[in-house]
A and B are shown apart, each in its own frame.
Chain A
Amino acid sequence: MNRRVKGIVWGVILVILALYPWLFGIYFTNVIVTCAIFALFAVSYNLLLGYTGLFSFGHAMFFGAGGYATALALTHIEGCPLLVALLFGFLGAVALALLLSPIVARLAHSAFAMLHLAFSMLMYTLALKLRGITGGEDGIGGFPIPPFRIPGVVSVDMTDPLNFYYFAMAVLGGSLWVAWFLTKTPFGQIIVSVRDNAKRVDYMGFKVPQTKAIIYTLSCGFAGIAGSIYAMFQDLISAASFGIAQSFAPIVMTMVGGVISFFGPIWGAVIFAVIEELTTRYTERVQLVEGLILIIVILFFPGGFIHLAAIVKGKWLGFIRGQWFGSIKGKWFGKQ
C-alpha cells in the first residue's frame, strides 16, 4: 500500500469511529469502548512479548494498579480533574513497574513469567485483604466522574456515555499512536534486537537490563492508562482486575491477533469482542470457544490473524507459506 491509500484507509476508519455512536446505538458504543481498552492493554503487552521477547503472566497487575490509582484519586481528592485522575492511573502503574524492574529486568523466559504471576497474585491478595483502602471484594465504585474541563474554554460532562466515548477513544487512540511511534524510533529497533540476540546487543555497547527496564516501564504505563479508562468507564474497579483471567486476556488476544505485528493485538481484541458478543447469546461457556480458537490459530496460523490475512493475500500475490514459518520459527524462545 502506498502513502495515499494508507491515508484514505485511516481517514475512513476515523470517520467511521466518529459517526459510530449514531450508526450503531449506545449498546455497541459501550462494546467498542471495552474493546478499545483491551486493544491498548494487549498492545502494551505486545511491546513486551512481541517486541522485547519478555513473556509475563501478570500484566493485569499494572492494569489494576492504574484502575485503583484513578479510583482512589477520584474518591479521596476533592474536585480532582479528569486528566489528573488519568495521570494518577498512568503514574500508579509506572511506580509499580519501577519498583519491580530492578528484580525482573535481570530475568528472562519462565522465571520472568512466573515472578509476574506471583507478584500479580500478591497484588490480588492485597486488594482483597486491605479492605480499608481497596474495599475488599466489592472494590471501589460509585466515585464521581469529573467533567473534562479546560478553564475558561470548555467543560464537557463525562457522565454522558457519548461524550465519554469520544474522550476514551481519543486517549486510547493517542496512546496507541505513541506506542506505535515508539516502535519506529531507534529505541524500538534496540528492543527488537534484545529479543533476537541480547548478547550481541550487549557487545555493541547497549545496556540490556536498562533497555528492558525502560520498555517494561513504558509498557506498564500504557497498561495503566487502559486500566484507568476502564475504571472511569465502569465507575468501578475490583480485585478481579488483578486476577489471573485478566492476565491471560492480553496473552490470548496477542496470540490470536498476531504476535508478529504491532496491529495484531488490536485485531485480537476486536476478534474477541466479536466472539464474546456472538457466543454469549447461545452459551455461557465463552472460554471454551476462546480456547478452541486459540488452539486452532496456533496450530495452523502461528502468526495469528495477521498471518491468516497474509496467507489469503498470498493466494493472489504468490506468497510462500514457508516464509512465514521461517520468520516466526525460533524467534520467541526457540533454540538459539
Chain B
Amino acid sequence: MDATTAMYVAQGIHGLAYGMVLFLVASGLTLIFGMMGILNVAHTAFFMLSAYFCYQVVAWTGSFWLALLMAPIATAIVGVLVERFLLRRIHALGLLFELTLTIGVMFVIMEAVKVFWGTENLPLPVPLLLEGLVQIGGMEYPVYRLFIIGLSLAVLGFLAFILYKTRMGMVVRAAVSDADMVNALGINVPRLFMFVFGVGTWLAGLAGVAIAPILTVFPGLADQMGMDAFIVVIVGGFGSLGGALMVAIISGLLSSYGVQFVSQLAPVLMFIFMAVVLAIKPTGFFGEREG
C-alpha cells in the first residue's frame, strides 16, 4: 500500500473514531429528545463533567478501567437527580421552561467544574494496555482509537438490543411515539422518563471518559463537542438513533477529510451541510416530526 492510501485510511480512522464518540453523545441527546421532547442543552456539560470525574478517579486510584466504569455512573446519578428534582416539577408548564432550565443547569455545571478543578488543562494518560500502534495488513493504527470505535459499536449493539428486543425497550419506543397513551396503559411514565434521562447522561458520560485521554480535560471540552452533537441530532432527525449514527459518522469523516482538503473551510463544512439538509427537509434525515 502506498503512502497516499495509507494517509487516507489513517484520516478515515481518525474521522471514524471522532464520529463514534460523537454518536455516543448524540445518541443520549436524541434518546432524551425523542422520549421527553426536551432539547437538553446541558447534555454536553454532563459530557464534560464525566471527563472531570474520570480524571478524579484516575487521580485517586490510578486505574483508567475503574474510571471508565465509575465516571459515567456518577454522571448518570447527577442526571437522574436533575430530572427528578428539577425537570419533573415543571414538566406540565411546557417545553420552553424545561429547555431554559437545562440552560441554567449547564451554567452551573460549567462553572462548578472550574471551582473544583480550576481552569487549566488536566492531562490524562492513555492506559498502558491501549498505548502505541497496532499493525493490521501492513498498516499501523493507534490502538486507542480502535478501542473507541469498538467500545462505541458495543454500546450501539447493546442499545439496539435493549430497544428492539426487550419488553422495556418496547415500552420506551411506545412512549417515544405517544407518552400519554403509555401512561394511560398503567405504565409509570415519569419513572421511565427518569430512567431514560439517566441512560442518556450515562451515554454522554461514557463519551466523556473515552475522549478524555485524547483531548485532555479542560473547561472548553463541552463547547468543542457540543455544537457537533447538536447538529448530528438535528440533521439525523430528532429522536432517531439510526439517523444519529449515520450523521455522526458523516460528520466525523467530514471534519477529518475536510481539514486535509479544504482546511480553510473545515470549521464551517458541518454548518453548511446542516443548513442544506434542513432547508430541504426541516425534520432532518429520519425525523418524522418537527422538533
Contacts and interface: CB of A to CB of B under 8 A. Distances in A.
B279 interface: yes
B271 A129 contact: no
Contacts of A259: 96
Contacts of B47: none
Interface stretch (A134-142, A154-162, A328-336): A328-336
A204 to B, nearest CB: 22
A298 interface: yes
B274 interface: yes
Interface in A315-336: 325, 328-335
Interface stretch (A20-28, A119-127, A218-226, A269-277): A119-127
A106 interface: yes
A119 B57 CA distance: 39
Interface string A40-65: 00000000010000010000000000
Contacts of B264: 129
B90 A55 contact: no
A295 interface: yes
A265 interface: no
A331 B94 contact: yes
Contact of B90 (A117, A129, A298, A335): A298
Contact of A118 (B39, B96, B275): B275
Interface residues of B, number: 45
A114 interface: yes
What is the interface of chain B mostly: helix, strand, loop, or mixed? helix
What is the interface of chain A mostly: helix, strand, loop, or mixed? helix
B234 interface: yes
Interface string B269-280: 001101100110
Contacts of B114: 285
A108 B282 CA distance: 9
Given A103-B275, A126-B268, A288-B115, A117 B230 contact: yes
B9 to A, nearest CB: 29
A229 B154 CA distance: 54
Pick the 7 closest A-B CB pairs, nearest first. A291-B107, A110-B291, A334-B94, A332-B96, A294-B104, A288-B111, A333-B95
19 contacts: A55-B96, A106-B282, A107-B278, A107-B290, A111-B284, A111-B290, A111-B291, A114-B231, A115-B274, A119-B275, A121-B227, A251-B103, A252-B100, A288-B107, A291-B107, A292-B104, A294-B101, A328-B94, A330-B92
Interface of A: 49, 55, 103, 106-111, 113-115, 117-119, 121-122, 125-126, 129, 244, 248, 251-252, 255, 259, 285, 287-288, 290-292, 294-295, 298-299, 302, 325, 328-335
